[in-house]
Amino acid sequence: MDEQAAGFAAWMTMMRVHQQIQQRVIDLMALHGLTLAQFDVLLRLHYEEGITQQQLADRMLVTKGNMTGLIDRMERQGWVERRADEQDRRSHLLYLTESGRSKIIEILPQHKNQIWDLMNLLSPGQQKNLLELLQQLENLLKTKTEN
Amino acid sequence: MDEQAAGFAAWMTMMRVHQQIQQRVIDLMALHGLTLAQFDVLLRLHYEEGITQQQLADRMLVTKGNMTGLIDRMERQGWVERRADEQDRRSHLLYLTESGRSKIIEILPQHKNQIWDLMNLLSPGQQKNLLELLQQLENLLKTKTEN
DNA sequence: CAAAATTAGTATATATATATACTGTCAACT
DNA sequence: AGTTGACAGTATATATATATACTAATTTTG
């Protein structure tokens, strides 16, 4: 194989693998009445509650305009709530409701098991190898961006 | 590191790396007035013209309903055209216009260079290693699905 | 301190994507 | 041959996502 071609082929393969695994996550979330974006919101608020819509949008790498609609729909479902920020009256602080907290606590272990099952198709050594290569690429991409 | 954790961490890292690279592709396509989905259509028709909307939807892993709107917008831009299928009057066969063909021929080398630049952050050996791990995972995922 | 610039959130237009229901066409089977 | 079933494409409702423009509140700065 042409050396230059391996990198391109790796990207093509990564796209397909990413798509395959993500589809399985989408399917699991659908069983619980969630979209992927809604799962991401629940997961992030589970680990970091009381952040603003803008902060959540930054972490999820989406726009604040998208966040307005996402939170609207999830508030309607009763999974999250907006509370006024006393320090800054422009902001809304986001919290899980009891219903939202139960939901993420129920789903998270299933999700982790699902991913473990899929990644365990590779040997422990291969998983570690893959992790290290991806981490290195991630760090190099970050460095490249800073230039 | 816990052995079970490496697989999960690999997935989390893959999601971030995928997102980072894809965003750069989106940015390049935006310079040419294309969305990612539209680039995918041009690319696939460049390699395989005269297929139906359903066939293209199957290859792109989207629904045929989505394809109707995608092709509508691209036909409006003058990049692709629908032609009647004489053999099956239900079908529309898809072709690049001259404008669409020029566009993909102009963009494709830029896209390949872009991906090579990013993947060359890893050494040739690492690229090959990454490719092999991803290919193996892809094949194992396929096998798992068939069961 | 007052004007200017920035920031948080919302509203709107457009693009992508799914699920569902519908139309028209083709194929299969009795 | 005619009915039934499957298939290709479209229409529509809903969800996600961006870009843009807007409002209200806060910060910066002259």
Residue-level pLDDT at B2: 62
Residue-level pLDDT at B144: 79
Stated pTM of the model:
0.93
Q: Per-residue pLDDT averaged across B109-128, rounded?
A: 96
What b-and-e string marks burial along B10-36, b requiring 16 or more CB atoms within 10 Å of the CB? Answer: bbebbebbbebbeebbeebbeeeebee
pLDDT tops 90 at residue B147: no
- pLDDT tens profile B39-94: 999 999 999 999 999 999 999 999 999 999 999 999 999 999 999 999 999 999 99
Sign of torsion over alpha carbons B140, B25, B11, A6 = positive
Residue-level pLDDT at B81: 97
| Yes or no, beta carbons of B121 and A137 under 8 Å apart | yes
| Mutation for B interface: A130, A136, A140, most B CBs within 10 A | A130
Residue-level pLDDT at A1: 55
What is residue B80's three-state secondary structure?
strand
Q: Using an 8 Å Cβ cutoff, are A88 and A133 in contact?
A: no
Q: Per-residue pLDDT averaged across B87-109, rounded?
A: 97
Residues of chain A with pLDDT under 50: 147
Beta-carbon count within 10 A of A72 CB = 11
**Residue among B132, B121, B138 at smallest CA distance from A126:** B132
| Yes or no, beta carbons of B133 and A129 under 8 Å apart | yes
